[in-house]
Amino acid sequence: KRAGSRSVSGILPTMRTLEISLFLCFLAAAYGFGCPNPSTIDDVDVAQYFQGTWYQLYVSKSFEERFEHASKFCTKAVYTIQDDNTVLVNNSGKCSVKGEETYAVGSARQVKGGKFEVSFFGPFYGPYWIVALDGQAKSGYKAAAVYSCALLGAVEDLWILSRTPTLDDKEVKDMVDLITSKGIDVGALKLQKTQQEGCDWKLFSTGDIIIN
């Protein structure tokens, strides 16, 4: 562990959490809710995508409120492919730009094409679908959109990620338009902008250097 960091990995859901999940699933089925089925980027270069840092630029409001209330500044993910072809996921963020960095360590694995799943809670995995990419594998992907929907639509989240801490407004708009064209209701997800300006990036043990 890095000094000053707090690990939040390995926390198993409580029985109460499972009960709530089942209840949400029942409501979703009863009222006809469900997950859209957007196309994914099935020709993604896994080795290129899941290596190094992705900065979180936008995130759905519900996810931020559930999991990032203490880490919604300077949020990023560092991916490292393992020998067994799974991906080591190191998510981190701060409670303020100058606050203490906290992180969560998880694992991701490919299901099929651009459909992956990720877990931070032992055997419990959630969808991680790559639904949009900007750039080419040969020259390096520039931005990505990741969608997750579970429990028949009761839990639905979206992230816009970038290899750099910022993207210009047109690039963001083009990404949102593409996501919308795939049947995802971006407006309903109430994307929140993640502050990346002024963040004090440090050297990671993976050898990933992030320039301030």
Residue 10 DSSP symbol:
T
DSSP code for 51? S
Whole-angstrom Cα distance, residue 148 to residue 115? Answer: 10
Alpha-carbon torsion angle 65, 26, 126, 194, nearest 10:
-20
- Confidence check: pLDDT of 208 > 70: no
pLDDT of residue 69: 86
Check residue 152 and report its DSSP letter.
G
pLDDT in tens, 15-29: 444 555 555 555 544
Q: Report the distance separating Cα 74 and Cα 93, nearest Å.
A: 5
The pLDDT value given to residue 210: 36
Give the span between the Cα atoms of 75 and 93, in whole angstroms: 4
Which spans in the chain are helix H?
15-30, 46-49, 61-67, 169-181, 186-189
Rounded Cα gap, residues 72 and 194, in angstroms: 6
Give the distance from CA 176 to its chain's centroid: 16
Which among 207, 205, 164 is positioned nearest to 5, based on CA atoms? 205
Spatial neighbors of 148 by CB under 8 A, at least 6 apart, are 126, 127, 128, 129, 155, 156, 157, 158
Half-sphere exposure of 86 (CA within 13 A, CB side): 11
Partner residues linked to 148 by β-bridges = 157
> Between residues 146 and 212, which one has the greater pLDDT?
146
Q: What is the pLDDT, as a whole number, of residue 200?
A: 82
Q: Which helix (H) or strand (E) holds 130?
A: strand 124-136
Q: How far is CA 118 from CA 88, 97, 147, in A?
A: 10, 27, 12
pLDDT at 19: 53
Q: What is the pLDDT of residues 158-180, one digit of tens each?
A: 999 999 999 999 999 999 999 99
Q: Are strands 124-136 and 115-121 parallel, antiparallel or unpaired?
A: antiparallel
**Residue 83 to residue 146: CA distance in whole angstroms:** 24
Coil vs helix vs strand at 194: coil
| pLDDT above 90 coverage of the chain, percent | 72
pLDDT at position 151: 76
170-207 tens-digit pLDDT: 999 999 999 999 999 999 999 999 999 999 865 443 33
Q: For residue 204, give both structure tokens.
A: 């990671």
